Amino acid sequence: MNFAALLRIALRALAVNKLRSALTMLGIVIGVGAVIVMIAVGAGAQARVEEQIRALGSNLLLVMPGSTTAGGVRMGFGSGSTLTEDDVVAVNREIPEALAAPALRGAAQVIWGNTNWSTQVFGVTPEYLDVRQWPLASGRSFEPAEMAAAAKVCLIGATVAKQLFGSSDPLDQSIRIKRVPFTVIGVLDVKGQSLMGTDQDDLVLVPIKTARSRVLGTASAARNRTVGTIWVKVADGIDTKVVEEQVRSLLRQRHRIQAGADDDFSLRNLAEVMAAQEASSRVLALLLAAVASVSLLVGGIGIMNIMLVSVTERTREIGLRMAVGARTRDILGQFLVEAVTLSLIGGLIGVALGIGGSLLIAQLAGWRIVISPEAIALAVAFAFVIGVFFGFYPARKAARLNPVEALRFE
């Protein structure tokens, strides 16, 4: 008996009990739809994390000064002033695979005309933009002469540009940072939120020397050239862990730290932080899909239930088919095709519903979703497997009926 004939028999049998078939399919429809929506949402979340990682740069090391102790109270990383611009120079000189850029951070009120905005001011070097991979939307970066002369020029983030200037062009305008006038020479491209949820566009960059002397500076800071953080970008194709150890040993050596003593700085490998973030978002996506799969499984049990009922109802038909020459595999095939037809039709409707549902969620909730062909193929394949798995037992029950008893069945 060929497949087309089996399919026709299956469709006719399903058409006899339309409502029952539809309700049985509904389990699979919901299951497949849920799987597709959940995979789309999970993959969307994952894609967002990956995007942020790309934006941040996955080959970054972050060096922060060690802690200070004030009256027995240890202040935590970043409170000390153990890192200096000389450390930055040394890293760039000694480790060719690394590009280091310092940053000094402080908060400041910035004013343009009659508008003002409270933001973060960073004192940086031109390398900082390379290290953070922050492109400029317009204007230019700092020039060496400006760095050396502590020029009063600044780059502003997209949020600051919007808050201060609205729709007017910020380039070459003069803004005041802590009452010191600065000329805006460039606007940074939009970077969006960081993984921690802070707005990466809400900042102003100025030359580090200018920051130290004009904006954030204290007399001592100006003297000892300390910096708040050092970002280190590892060249492409180089293992960040190797460079991490090189930077660590160089800094220990420069800071004259004895073997066995603790570092007076903290060195973090952002690639690892990101990897952990990515792993957790992947686990979340998997979990969502797994939960949705449970409903698919329940749908499969529904199919099995109905197929068992169907086999019992059609015992005489099975007996007759056997009497006129149906072999075990013909009967097995007939009921298996019926179960798989139920699950596959349900699966296809579920795919349509899942895609529709995902798009709806994207519209209503504004979530990022990713509908991949692989996920759809997986869901349909899963529906098929469910049909075979849960259809097999009833089909085998049918195929194993004794023809004499089946014919006599009332």
Partner 1 sequence: MLIHTRELVKVYRMGDSEIHALDRVSVDIDKGEFVAVMGPSGSGKSTFMNVLGCLDRPSSGQYALNGKNVSELAGDELATVRNRNIGFVFQQFNLLPRTPASENVELPLVYAGLPKKERHERAKAMLERVGLGERAHHHPAQLSGGQQQRVAIARALVTEPLLILADEPTGALDSRTSLEIMALLQELNGQGMTVVLVTHEADIARYARRILGFRDGQVVQDEMNEALAA
Give contact residues for partner 1 (rule: CB under 8 A): 1, 5, 12, 16, 316-317, 319-330, 403-404, 407
SS3 255: coil
Helix/strand/coil percent split, the chain, to 5: 60, 20, 25
Residue 351 burial (C-beta neighbours within 10 Å; 0-12, 13-18, 19+): buried
**Exposed, middle or buried by CB within 10 Å (0-12, 13-18, 19+), for 180?**
middle
Retrieve residue 343's tokens: 């699950």
CB of 322 to partner 1, least distance (A): 7
Among 61, 56, 66, smallest CA distance to 244 is for 61
Rounded to the nearest whole angstrom, what is the least distance from the CB of residue 51 to partner 1 in the complex? 57
Smallest gap from residue 20 Cβ to partner 1 (A): 15
3-state secondary structure of 231: strand
Q: What's the min distance (Å) between Cβ of 327 and partner 1?
A: 4
Tallying the residues shown for the chain, one arrives at 410
Q: Which is closer to partner 1, CB of 70 or CB of 324?
A: 324
Lookup: tokens for 168: 């007017």
Minimum distance, C-beta of residue 393 to partner 1, in the bound complex (Å): 19
Q: Which is nearer to partner 1, 318 or 379 (CB)?
A: 318
Between CA 297 and CA 290 the distance in angstroms is 10
- Mention every residue, 6+ apart, whose C-beta is less than 8 A from residue 310: 13, 335, 338, 394
CA 131/CA 352 separation, integer angstroms? 45
Closer to partner 1 at the Cβ: 318 or 383? 318
CB of 15 to partner 1, least distance (A): 8
Query: Measured from the CB atom, is 241 or 327 closer to partner 1?
Result: 327
CB nearer partner 1, residue 176 or residue 396: 396
Q: How many CB atoms lie within 10 A of CB 370?
A: 18
Distance (Å, whole) CA 360 – CA 354 = 10
How near is the Cβ of 410 to partner 1 at its closest, in Å? 10
Indicate the residue among 86 and 405 with the shorter CB distance to partner 1: 405
User: Of 10, 27, 28, which is closest to residue 347 (Cα–Cα)?
Assistant: 28
Closer of 145 and 324 to partner 1 (Cβ): 324
Is the CB of 74 or the CB of 400 nearer to partner 1?
A: 400
Query: Closest separation between CB of residue 329 and partner 1, Å?
Result: 8
